[in-house]
């Protein structure tokens, strides 16, 4: 089937208590690893492209890679989504250039300016059958040039969501409930030590998610910054020449809980980056004589596939749901 927008996926995800995985793509091996797992698990999927990915790989290459995945996986619905669209022009370029969904990220703007910018994108997108994600509240962490320090993030205010959604006409809303971008989601000071000596991060603000959902019944909510930073890969990186002290992610049980509530899209990027980097570092440590990129990209792609499979089955709950999302 051709690329689809996110409408039907979110409708089914909301109704049936699961979330769609939104995975960031930058190159062929990442696209293949994700979509091969989704095809084998019969799962719907959102492939998302950031401003940085477009700058790195070029819009056309990314669209063509995703089109190749659509051709190779005709059984599953696939959305091509712009992640963190920074302005109207970038959203327009993606809408005109084959994307089926865009995010306009006005979360750093004052409320009225966020509404005006988001509505402008929605008006343009909806005329062309493209769905739009908006955002209220800011996450800590780094995305492209925007860096928000821990402690400077702001949770979504539930009292603002009805006005934002009604006046903009967005199809989904990203909210801030304590997740953050990157591999360092929580400082050690924010965590508590459990009896096994493992740092346990503070729980997500489910009270805010529930208050938002009460205000917007039936409306799809999005979580950014939702990597879990698997410690096996942090260890693999650190044992093979890397240095990632105190890399901590969101516990998977909390994401599963969110997916069963109103959260219909969960963004995961750092976990795939870690799997890829850990695998490549280990490969070169184990085989210092090798120099063929295919030899290290092959196990990296295989590990991306396995981590995505794990997310589909155990975290998102969307394995086997491709047919109902068509």
Name residues contacting ligand 13P, limited to 217-246 (CB under 6 A): 224-227
Contact between residue 35 and residue 66 where contact means Cβ atoms under 8 Å apart: no
- Can you tell me the distance from the alpha carbon of 110 to that of 89, in angstroms, rounded to the nearest whole number? 20
Q: Which is nearer to ligand G3H, 50 or 118 (CB)?
A: 50
Residue 39 binds which entry of ligand 13P, Zn ion, ligand G3H, none, CB below 5-8 Å type-dependent: none
Residue 28, phi then psi, degrees to nearest 5: -65, -45
Residue 181 within binding range of ligand 13P, rule CB under 6 A: yes
Residue 255 within binding range of ligand 13P, rule CB under 6 A: no
The residues assigned a catalytic role are 83
Dihedral (C-alpha) 290, 30, 60, 3: value to the nearest 10 degrees?
A: 150
Q: How far is the CB of 285 from ligand 13P (least distance, A)?
A: 25
Q: How far is the CB of 227 from ligand 13P (least distance, A)?
A: 3
- Can you tell me the distance from the alpha carbon of 228 to that of 247, in angstroms, rounded to the nearest whole number? 10
**Which two three-digit tokens encode residue 187?**
């400082």
Q: Where does this chain touch Zn ion (CB under 5 A) — which range of 57-65, 216-224, 238-246, 280-288?
A: 216-224
Helix (H) or strand (E) holding 221: strand 221-223
Q: How far is the CB of 209 from ligand 13P (least distance, A)?
A: 16
Contact between residue 227 and residue 270 where contact means Cβ atoms under 8 Å apart: yes
Residue 52 binds which entry of ligand 13P, Zn ion, ligand G3H, none, CB below 5-8 Å type-dependent: ligand G3H
Of the candidates 5, 6, 4, 55, the one whose C-alpha atom is nearest the C-alpha of residue 220 is: 6
Residue 83 within binding range of ligand 13P, rule CB under 6 A: yes
Using CB under 6 A, pick the residue from 5, 267, 279, 303 that binds ligand 13P. 267
Angle between helices 206-215 and 252-260 (to 10 degrees): 10
Contact between residue 150 and residue 176 where contact means Cβ atoms under 8 Å apart: no
Contact between residue 62 and residue 49 where contact means Cβ atoms under 8 Å apart: yes
Residue 182 within binding range of ligand 13P, rule CB under 6 A: yes
Q: How far is the CB of 55 from ligand 13P (least distance, A)?
A: 15
Name residues contacting ligand 13P, limited to 29-68 (CB under 6 A): none
- Can you tell me the distance from the alpha carbon of 236 to that of 303, in angstroms, rounded to the nearest whole number? 12
- In the complex, the residues that contact ligand G3H under the rule CB under 6 A are 24, 50, 52-53, 83-84, 143-144, 181, 269
Interacting residue ranges for ligand 13P, rule: CB under 6 A? 24, 83-84, 181-182, 224-227, 267-270
Binding residues vs Zn ion (CB under 5 A): 224
């Amino acid at each position: 089937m051709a690329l689809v927008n996110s409408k039907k996926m979110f409708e089914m995800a909301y109704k049936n208590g699961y979330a769609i995985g939104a995975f960031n793509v930058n190159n062929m091996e990442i696209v293949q690893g994700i979509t091969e797992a989704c095809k084998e698990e019969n799962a719907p999927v959102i492939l998302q492209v950031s401003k940085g990915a477009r700058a790195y790989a070029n819009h056309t290459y990314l669209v063509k890679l995703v089109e190749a995945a659509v051709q190779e996986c005709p059984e599953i619905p696939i959305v091509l989504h712009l992640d963190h669209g920074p302005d109207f022009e970038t959203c327009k370029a993606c809408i005109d250039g084959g994307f089926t969904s865009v995010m306009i990220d006005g979360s750093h703007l004052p409320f009225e300016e966020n509404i005006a910018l988001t509505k402008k994108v929605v008006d343009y997108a909806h005329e062309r059958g493209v769905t739009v994600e908006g955002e209220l509240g800011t996450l800590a962490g780094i995305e492209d040039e925007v860096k928000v320090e821990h402690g400077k993030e702001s949770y979504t205010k539930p009292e603002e969501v009805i006005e934002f959604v009604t006046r903009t006409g967005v199809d989904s809303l990203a909210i801030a409930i304590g997740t953050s971008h990157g591999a360092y989601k929580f400082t050690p000071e924010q965590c508590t030590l459990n009896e096994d000596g493992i740092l346990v991060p503070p729980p997500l603000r489910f009270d805010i998610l529930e208050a938002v959902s009460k205000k917007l019944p039936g409306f799809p909510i999005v979580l950014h910054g939702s990597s879990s930073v698997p410690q096996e890969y942090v260890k693999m990186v650190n044992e093979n020449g890397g240095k990632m002290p105190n890399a901590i992610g969101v516990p998977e049980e909390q994401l599963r809980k969110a997916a069963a509530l109103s959260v219909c899209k969960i963004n995961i990027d750092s976990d795939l980056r870690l799997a890829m980097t850990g695998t490549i570092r280990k490969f070169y440590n184990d085989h210092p004589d090798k120099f063929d990129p295919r030899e290290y990209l092959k196990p990296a792609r295989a590990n991306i596939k396995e981590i995505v499979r794990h997310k589909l089955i155990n975290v998102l709950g969307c394995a086997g749901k491709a047919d109902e999302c068509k």
